Structure 1
Amino acid sequence: MLRLSVHRNELAERNSAPPGCLPAAWAVLGRPHRAEVIARSGSDGFRQKQGLLSLVEGLAEAGDGTRAHEIARGFSGPEDRDAALAALARGAARGGDLEQAESVAVGVAQPVYRATALAAVARSAASRRTEDLTSHRRTSH
């Protein structure tokens, strides 16, 4: 009985703090429901917020910008909402939707979040351009 109790406590502790990137990973893998359940399972407000930010980024990267927007709009404070919109822009940029990423990024009010979002757009655009040039050089030789 004691071993069962110890094991139950170990499981409860492990599940109270899932890795912050786990919701994004599940979303990118095409399991958005599981991602959202994990994101909302945080044991306190901070962990839940981090999980939801990860979820927004993963959904956007996976191409589900509509759901990512819905969750981002659900954040109550303007700073948290800007953090969520920046996460959405980063995810959309990483997923290749540079138009959506830029559109969301320029609408972020807080300068630090806007800067990180726009930097992600620039990195993705530069990476895409480099890939295009590399591909062009291979086919022209």
Structure 2
Amino acid sequence: MADLIAIVLSIVTIVVGLYRGRAPERLFVIGNTLVLYAKSVVIIEYARAIQAAQIVAMIDTAFFIVCLPVALYSNRYWPMVATALIAMIVMLDVVAVVSAWPIVNSRVTSVVWLYIIQTTVLVGALVEGRRPTRHAA
């Protein structure tokens, strides 16, 4: 049942994000989906490997580096909130690598947070709060 909810949430987030977002938000939604898929493959394929937590940490760090300019360029609040959550995921991944957590704990800290980010993106795309600019409308 949890997998079905995750799949439906992913599909709804992609559709709403692509329909309601501009170019930076669309990039963010597509990137989030690709990262979720990549991390799921790494966790499933390398569940017994010691380096799985390091691979997951590298994927999250690369995603954070890509999303940081999107958050700064976008005039909406939700990319900034989602990027802050990604920064927290990167910190949790560093703790997982340093502490030598098993990959099951890395899955909990990373995949669950990606679903939280997807929910943030979905709600943000539906509400579309805009960041104030210097120029009056």
Q: Normalising by the residue count of structure 1, what TM-score does the alignment of the two structures yield?
A: 0.36
By relative contact order (CA 8 Å, sep 6+), the higher-ranking structure is: 2
Q: Normalising by the residue count of structure 2, what TM-score does the alignment of the two structures yield?
A: 0.37
* Structure with greater Cα Rg: 1
